[in-house]
Amino acid sequence: MIKITLKDNSQMEVEEGLSILEIAKKISEGLARVATCGEVNGEVKDLRTVINEDCTLNILTFDSLNGKKAYWHTTSHILAQAVKRLYPEMKFAIGPSIDNGFYYDFDTDKPFTPEMLEALEKEMKKIIKEDISIERFSLPRKEALELMKNEPYKQELINDLPEGEEISFYKQGDFTDLCAGPHLTSTGKVKAVKLLSSSGAYWRGNEKNKMLQRIYGISFPKASELDEYVNMIEEAKKRDHRKLGKELELFFFDETAPGMAYWMPKGFTIMNTLIDFWRKEHKKRGYQEFSGPQLNSSVLWKTSGHWDHYKEDMFVLTDADGNEQALKPMNCPNSIKIYQSKLRSYKDLPLRFNDVDVIHRNEKSGQLNGLFRVRMFRQDDSHNYVTEEQIGSEIKDILEIADRLYGIFGLEYKVSLSTRPEDFMGEIETWNKAEADLKKVLNEICGEDNYQINEGDGAFYGPKIDIKMKDCLGREWQMGTVQLDFQLPQRFNLSYIDKEGNKKTPIMIHRAIFGSFDRFIGIITEHFAGAFPVWLAPVQVRILPIADKHKEYSESLLKQFEDLGLRAEIDEREEKIGYKIREAQLQKIPYMLIIGDKEIEANAVGVRSRKEGDIGQMKVEDFINKIQEEIDNFTR
C-alpha cells in the first residue's frame, strides 16, 4: 500500500499501481466524473498517470486554471480532428490551451472563412457526441517520426526533443496527435464549445517562418457558462480600447511606428493625470524620481546580463564611433548607476528610486496588441535598495501602495508568492529569510489563506510577488510585480557602509504596480468603457451655450473653471442643444452645463450628468463644490 496526501492534508492508503482517475473514484464518484487532471507533488499529470509511491495528490477540475487548461487542450484536439475530417489536406502545427480557451495552427494557403468555422464547429459537436475514448501512448523516436511522416511540423517538434525524453501521443478514433498532455478521458467530457475567430500566425512566432492559419475557441462544462462567456466577449468588443481610443480621440497606432502609440491631447491628459497622481502617492513614501539615458552602451547591458539573455528583445544600433548601443528595455541598470553615483551608508537605506522614462522592447509584430503589448511605453517602475533586515517592512509598504492605487479604481486583486527554484543563486540562508519575511507580510496584509504560493517558481536571483487584478468583465490581468534581486547588486559591486564601518551588499527590489502606464490606460479604458471617473476624465465639463448671446457668460465660466484646475471646454458650434448634448454623451464627458437666459439671470448652470441624467439648475458655486467633492472622494 502507498500513502496519498490530499489537498486538505488528509491521507488515504491505496494499493500501488492505481491511476489518478481510479484514486479519484475512491474519493468520490462525483469527483471522478468532473476531474480533468491531477497534481502529483505539485506537477500537473494526466488522469491516466499511475501512482506507485507515496505522494501529495490534488484532483483538479474545471474550477482550477490547470484543470481548465486540460479541458481546453482536449478541445483543441477535437478541433484538429474536425479539420482532419473536413480538410484532410491541411498540415497540423500546434494546438495548446491558453489563459482563455485554446487555439490550433494549420498550414493552409487560404484563411478560414466564417462559413468554414461554422462547419468545423458543427463537426466538433458531432465528435463530442460520439464520445470517443482518448488514449495515451509513447513511441521511440524512429517510430514517432514514421508515424508523423506526413506532418512536417510534428516531425520538427520531435527532432527538437532532447535524447531520452518521452515522445507521447494522444489518439481519439481516427485522429492521433503528438502531445505531452494532459487530456480528458473522452471527447464526450466536453459539453459546450464555440469557435471564436481565426487569424494568421507565424510558425513558432517567428516572422521569418511561414504564415499559418490559427483558429481560436473556447469550451465549458455547461452551456450556460458558454453563453455567459460569449456575452462577455460581445461586451468586451464594445469596450475594446483600440476602438474607444479612436472614438474618444485618446490615441491611435499607425504603420509608421508599429507597436508605438500616438498619444493625442486628450489621451495624454489622462496619461499625465495618472502619472501626477502616481508621483504624489510615491513622494509621500520617500520615493525619489530620476531620469536616465534612453541609449546605453552594450557594456552596461553586458554587466547586467541583459546582453546575454535579452538582446533579441532590444533595439540595438551602432553609434558614430562604431560602438554598440541599445535603447533601454528596462530601467534597473540606470537606477543602479544612480545608486553608484556616491558612497552609501546604512543610514541612507532604504533608497527608493523611481522613474517614468520611455522604454523600448523589440516585440515581434505578431505579438503586438494595442496598448497591451507594445514596443514603446512608460514603465510604472521603481527600484528599492534595502538591507536584509528591511525586506519585510519594505514589501509591506509596497503592497500598501498597491492596495491604495488599485482601490482608487475599484479593482479587485489577488496575490501570489513564487519561491526558490532549483537553480537559485546566492546564499540559501538569505533566501530562507527573504521568503519568511514575504510570507509574514502577506499573512498580515492578505490573510494566511488569501494568497497563492507557487513553490519553486521564483527567478534564479530572488523570490517574487505577483499581483493579478480583475476588471468589471471578470477578466484577470497580470499587473504588479515585486521581485527581490540578490544578484544584480553583486554584478555591479554595489555596497553600503554598515554600522560597524564594513562594506555590505544591498538587496535590490524591482517593483511595478500598474505594470506600465500605457497598458494600464488600455485596461481601465475597457474597465470603464471609456467613461473615466471625473478626476481622470480628459474633459470634465463641457459648457453648452444655447445661442450666441450665451457665449460671453459661457466663456466667463470656462475661465473660472480653468483657474480652479478643472478641465473644461465650450461647444460653440451653431447646432441645436439636443445635438450638442448627444455629442457630449458620446464623448462620455462627466458633466454638461447648458447655458440659456435663465441660467445667466440666476448666475447658475443647467447641469446634466453622464451618470444621473438631467440634474437641473444649480448655482455656479454649488456645482463647483459638487464636482470638486467628487474629485476629492476619488483621490483622497
Q: What is the pLDDT of residues 203-214, one digit of tens each?
A: 988 888 999 999
Percent of the chain with pLDDT over 90: 76
pLDDT tens-digit profile of 26-70? 999 999 999 999 999 989 999 999 999 999 999 999 999 999 999
Where along the chain do the CATH 3.30.980.10 domains lie? Answer: 69-236
pLDDT tens-digit profile of 105-153? 999 988 999 999 999 999 999 999 999 999 999 999 999 999 999 999 9
Task: Kindly give the residue spans of alpha helices, DSSP state H, lying in 528-576.
Answer: 551-563
Distance (Å, whole) CA 63 – CA 271:
37
* pLDDT over threshold 80, residue 366: no
Residues 6+ apart with CB under 8 A from 222: 191, 192
- Cell numbers at residue 238, please? 464594445
What positions carry a catalytic annotation?
A: 332, 361, 379, 381, 383, 464, 510
**364-393 CB burial, b ≥16 within 10 A, e <16:** eebeeebbbbbbbbbbbbbbbbbbbebbbe
- In 3-state terms the chain splits into helix, strand, coil percentages (rounded to 5) of 40, 30, 35
pLDDT at 565 (0 to 100) = 95
Distance (Å, whole) CA 93 – CA 215:
12
Where along the chain do the CATH 3.40.50.800 domains lie? Answer: 541-635
What is the architecture of the domain spanning 541-635?
A: 3-Layer(aba) Sandwich (3.40)
Check: CB of residue 315 under 8 Å from CB of residue 360: yes
For domain 69-236, which CATH number applies: 3.30.980.10, 2.60.120.260, 3.50.50.60, 1.10.3720.10?
A: 3.30.980.10
Pairing verdict, β 381-386 and 295-297: unpaired
- Calculate the CA dihedral of residues 264, 267, 269, 275 and round it to 10 degrees: -120
Mean pLDDT over each residue of the chain, to the nearest integer: 93
pLDDT tens-digit profile of 419-455? 888 877 778 888 888 888 888 888 888 877 788 888 8
pLDDT tens-digit profile of 245-280? 999 999 999 999 999 999 999 999 999 999 999 999
- Nearest residue to 505 via CA among 287, 397, 346: 346
What's the topology of domain 252-293+328-527?
BirA Bifunctional Protein; domain 2 (3.30.930)
* pLDDT over threshold 90, residue 218: yes
pLDDT tens-digit profile of 60-81? 999 999 999 999 999 999 999 9
User: Which regions of 113-269 does DSSP assign to beta strands (E)?
Assistant: 134-138, 168-172, 175-178, 192-202, 211-220, 251-252, 262-263
* pLDDT over threshold 80, residue 474: no
pLDDT tens-digit profile of 530-563? 999 999 999 999 999 999 999 999 999 999 999 9
CA 604, distance to chain mean position in Å, is: 46
* pLDDT over threshold 90, residue 157: yes
pLDDT at 186 (0 to 100) = 96
Amino acid at the residue 520: F
Where along the chain do the CATH 3.10.20.30 domains lie? Answer: 2-61
Phi-psi region of 412 (alpha: psi -120 to 50; beta: other; left: phi over 0): beta
633 against 245, higher pLDDT: 245
Please report where in the chains the cell 500500500 appears, as a residue. Answer: 1
For residue 593, give the H/E element and its range.
strand 591-595
Distance (Å, whole) CA 433 – CA 509:
15
Distance (Å, whole) CA 257 – CA 84:
40
Q: What is the DSSP letter of 91?
A: E
* pLDDT over threshold 80, residue 473: no
pLDDT at 470 (0 to 100) = 81
CATH assignment, 2-61: 3.10.20.30
Where along the chain do the CATH 3.30.930.10 domains lie? Answer: 252-293+328-527
pLDDT at 318 (0 to 100) = 92
Q: In what order do the strands lie in the sheet with 613-619?
A: 568-570, 541-545, 591-595, 604-609, 613-619
Q: In what order do the strands lie in the sheet with 316-318?
A: 295-297, 324-327, 316-318
pTM of the predicted model as reported, rounded to 2 decimal places: 0.79
123 against 459, higher pLDDT: 123
